[in-house]
Structure 1
Amino acid sequence: MIKNVTLFVFMVCFFFSSAQAQRKIKMTDTVSTADKMLGLATLWKESAYNFVWFDKQPNLNWDSVYRAYIPKVLSASNVFEVNRVLTKFLEELKDGHTAVWVNQGFWDEIDQPPVSITRVDGKLLVYRLDSNLKDELPLKSEVLKINGREASEFLKNDSWLGFKGSEIKVLFKKPDGKEKIIVLKRNLNDLFKLGKFQYFPATNIQSSPKFAHHILKGNIGFVQINTFSDSAVVDSFKNILPTLKTQRALILDLRNNGGGNSDYALEIAKVITDKQYLVGSSWRTRINNAANKAWGSFNKAANKTPDYKYKEYQEMNAWEFHPGDTIAAAATESKLNRPVVILTSKNTFSAAEDFLIYLLGSKNIIRIGQPSAGSSGQPLRVELPIGMIARICAKRDMLPDGTDYIGIGIQPDILVPAKSIFSTDTKDEELQVALNYLKKSL
């Protein structure tokens, strides 16, 4: 099953209709009341009929959320503000495969400060920033106020993002308790393009190649695949397969693989498994039958019982189930036939998780690291006014036996606790554990 979606940590791939691509939409453009309401109503409607994870939030009343966002979207004054409202609306569903997309023009006009913040125990803390600021603003500094307003209150309606080059005045409390106001410019992308930006603590996510291969000490092959969105990674892997067969084992690094096309993942899985057959994820999706829903509405009124006929259709809770596909693995002579260690993390998403599922039960494969992201499924592509597009998760992926892993992740065989996001330690703990494991097992 193809997953036409790739998740990125810093960038998102955007798609347009030809009509949208032809006209330049500026973030400062005003938006008509009709377009505002149509955008919000479209997201509400398509989610109500197609979103597959409402049961994860049993207390969420989607109609009430929609009602609450009507005044918010009506008060938005331009394209950027409408985008922020619609984005926050879908964020209420708390799903990694459900979001609002924008065209590239968004990033031509919008930027963010070169400081990354996260919420920890109710506090907004700095966990990564431009290395030029590290002496002025220590890690774990708390954001108290933004533009004179309480930080949490500011971020409810406004955003860390804003127009390129604009400034925000931030009151920080440093770990030593001292408070300091710093004026931050929204110029991260510009600094990065000019080569004047480097994250502290250092991260390799931005600069990681799609595919890399080298040989480690002890004749251990190391392959890093950071996406399954490009068929070239399959070609690259098959091109080095003869070399990998001369090495004692393979360490396959998927820790920053944001997913892509599960068919590309499958092609590599076929080669490295010792199994004869692979089984993909099982899945289910919601179905709507208007006639059954109509009959159910009258049955409910007539019977007044909790188990009336067609209840699942009338309550929009009818489902269609599909078992995982069974696929033949590669011919024996085409296989790697080597022990394989797969490194995973919370940044192992979507089609990369399909890859892990295909390999479940492979006796020659062990997973080391942290649980995967637990975010997969096929998004429904929804076109919105003013050049925006949304995706809504419409396919509920499960393990082949029907076990949910969304929001949980696929567990490693050997858990290596993740480093704190504030850590400046550059030692690769997962790789070292993998090498130690292979040293003993080989």
Structure 2
Amino acid sequence: MEVTSLVRKAVFAAGCLFTLTASAQTPVFDSTAYLAHYATRWQSRTLETPYQDNISEQEKIAGLSKLWMEAKLNYANFDLVPRLDFDSLYLAFIPKVQHTKSTLAYYEELQSFYHHLKDGHSLVLVPTQLTAQTKAVVPMLVHPIEGKPVIWKVLDKRLRDLGIREGMEITSVDGIPVAARMADRARKASYSTPQDSAARVMYYWLTAGNVAEKAKLEVVDKKGKAKSFDVPRADYYKGNLFPSPMFQTPLEYSVLPNNVGYLQLHTFNDPRVVAQFDSVFSQIAKTDALIIDVRTNGGGNGGYGHEILGYLTDKPFQTGKTHILQYQGVQRPWGNNPYSTEVSSYDWKPYKDKRYNKPVFLLTGPLTYSAAEDFTLAFLSTDRGLVIGEATGGSTGQPVFFMLPGGGFGAVCAKRDLFWDNRQFVGYGIQPDVQVPLKIKDVQNGKDTQLEKALALLKKGITTRDHLSKLP
């Protein structure tokens, strides 16, 4: 009994000593350092392996897995693809990427993988070493008009010198019929809506190829005559992950008959756009009405658009509502939904001392995208005028960017944007107040039906939605 008692006392004493020692040596929990440590986990460069013509099988599986993980963690729009079993899709793509014979073929499979998310802000970008040989396009805008790939705008004098004109329908590229080529391109494209799909494939993919090789185009002209052209491609990437706009300047301004200003905002991805707008504002101020055209604006920085809208009103205007998913894994074993949303919205308060108070129209179409859609939404909230044309592309948000093995990039949309009153446009597009589809004959004859509709409404004094509602 005495031995047992001594053992118990020894154990008790050792336990007390351990407790005192641990208490003295254990650091105080530092929540700031804790969060900083987890932030560094996203900065690992282990998967940022260099480009090779054919990266290893391990790299290929790791890149696919990275795409799967980032979407599982961050994608804000899974509810818009309710039938997508993303885990099954991931398993199905493992052998596909394993069997690719080159880095290019591998990245095309990755693009096909993210294609299933049906989101224009969730995509895969090929390594810069591949852009010149795969992403160079003929310098013209090919647009879906009456369901056909029609040359909408010719942007290079060399093409005009060859005889290419607006309104020509493209029937084949590099010997491949348009339908087959578009189907192949579409499976690798990221888009959010049917109108986005058609416009995006025709704009970015239909004539894409090697900058060193001319594109062989088969077209039908306005008289129904078939013609062939060998035309140069242009590399708008120039070694970058993202292309520069096809237009040489972020905006163009002119004055139409009857003193109507015509402002084309080609991009919000150029910080010069606000300064250039300010430089022409003295001319705009002298007009009797203004038509703003964002039909070719693929987005950029939404703040630039809000700056410009600040010249059109002296009242605060809505910029939309944002939902950001919050995930707490610990809620799962507790039997709760691990997801919640952080909702935010704000008004933009104009601060410039310059103001335009005349009638304003806005022209939109399926290439109106991202920050240009944010601009359209905010314009509608100002109630400054009518939106005319076609539905926008239906995709905006904030992508999370990350590197992939072999030098490419992935992106996943991590926030959901809505109208200020919770109406949705991501996955649907923003509908115009006045729907005006483009017509092939009009394009062939140099007519801009949507612009002319704005001018016709202006002539009738129909400049607001209130005016429209009172029409018989």
TM tier relative to shorter chain: 0.7 to 0.9
Q: Is the 8 A contact 1:343 1:368 kept in 2?
A: yes
Q: Is the 8 A contact 2:442 2:449 kept in 1?
A: no
- Whichever structure has more helix as a proportion of its residues is 2
Q: Is the 8 A contact 2:250 2:266 kept in 1?
A: yes
Q: Is the 8 A contact 2:112 2:187 kept in 1?
A: no
In structure 1, the partner of 2:389 is 369
Which whole-Å CA distance do the structure 2 matches of 1:330 and 1:188 have between them?
44
Of residues 225, 232, 242 in structure 1, which corresponds to 2:265?
225
Question: Does structure 1 residue 53 correspond to structure 2 residue 77?
Answer: yes
Which whole-Å CA distance do the structure 1 matches of 2:425 and 2:309 have between them?
20
In structure 2, the partner of 1:6 is none
Alignment of 1:98-177 (within 5 A): 98-110=122-134, 127=150, 139=169, 141=171
Of residues 75, 85, 94 in structure 1, which corresponds to 2:99?
75
Of residues 313, 321, 343 in structure 2, which corresponds to 1:322?
343
In structure 1, the partner of 2:400 is 380
Question: Does structure 1 residue 393 correspond to structure 2 residue 413?
Answer: yes
Which whole-Å CA distance do the structure 2 matches of 1:30 and 1:267 have between them?
46
Which whole-Å CA distance do the structure 2 matches of 1:293 and 1:264 have between them?
41
Question: Does structure 1 residue 272 correspond to structure 2 residue 292?
Answer: no
In structure 2, the partner of 1:406 is 426
How far did residue 126 of structure 1 move?
6.1
In structure 1, the partner of 2:374 is 354
In structure 2, the partner of 1:188 is 233
| Amino acid corresponding to residue 328 of structure 1 in structure 2 | K
Which whole-Å CA distance do the structure 2 matches of 1:215 and 1:113 have between them?
31
In structure 1, the partner of 2:323 is 284
How far did residue 164 of structure 1 move?
6.2
When residues 421 and 404 of structure 1 are mapped into structure 2, their CA distance, relative to the original with a 3 A threshold, is farther
For structure 2, the residue ranges without an aligned partner over 5 or more in a row are 1-42, 189-204, 239-244, 464-472
| Amino acid corresponding to residue 327 of structure 1 in structure 2 | W
How far did residue 382 of structure 1 move?
1.6
How far did residue 168 of structure 1 move?
11
Question: Does structure 1 residue 247 correspond to structure 2 residue 287?
Answer: yes
Q: Secondary structure at the residue paired with 1:250?
A: strand
How far did residue 242 of structure 1 move?
2.2
In structure 2, the partner of 1:431 is 451
How far did residue 53 of structure 1 move?
1.4
In structure 1, the partner of 2:51 is 25
Which whole-Å CA distance do the structure 2 matches of 1:157 and 1:234 have between them?
37
In structure 1, the partner of 2:89 is 65
Determine which structure has more spread, i.e. the larger CA radius of gyration.
Answer: 2
How far did residue 361 of structure 1 move?
3.7
Q: Is the 8 A contact 2:318 2:382 kept in 1?
A: no
Which whole-Å CA distance do the structure 2 matches of 1:120 and 1:221 have between them?
26
Q: Is the 8 A contact 2:57 2:98 kept in 1?
A: yes
Q: Is the 8 A contact 1:140 1:422 kept in 2?
A: no
Which whole-Å CA distance do the structure 2 matches of 1:245 and 1:168 have between them?
44
Question: Does structure 1 residue 237 correspond to structure 2 residue 285?
Answer: no
Of residues 297, 311, 314 in structure 2, which corresponds to 1:257?
297
How far did residue 39 of structure 1 move?
0.5
Q: Secondary structure at the residue paired with 1:360?
A: helix
Q: Secondary structure at the residue paired with 1:107?
A: helix
Which whole-Å CA distance do the structure 2 matches of 1:113 and 1:330 have between them?
41
Of residues 50, 54, 64 in structure 2, which corresponds to 1:40?
64
Percent identity over paired residues:
29
When residues 337 and 97 of structure 1 are mapped into structure 2, their CA distance, relative to the original with a 3 A threshold, is same
| Amino acid corresponding to residue 25 of structure 1 in structure 2 | Y
Which whole-Å CA distance do the structure 2 matches of 1:218 and 1:173 have between them?
37
Which whole-Å CA distance do the structure 1 matches of 2:252 and 2:427 have between them?
29
Q: Is the 8 A contact 2:49 2:404 kept in 1?
A: no
When residues 365 and 119 of structure 1 are mapped into structure 2, their CA distance, relative to the original with a 3 A threshold, is closer
- Length, aligned pairs only: 378
Which whole-Å CA distance do the structure 2 matches of 1:252 and 1:119 have between them?
21
Which whole-Å CA distance do the structure 2 matches of 1:345 and 1:329 have between them?
27
For structure 1, the residue ranges without an aligned partner over 5 or more in a row are 1-16, 194-204, 297-309
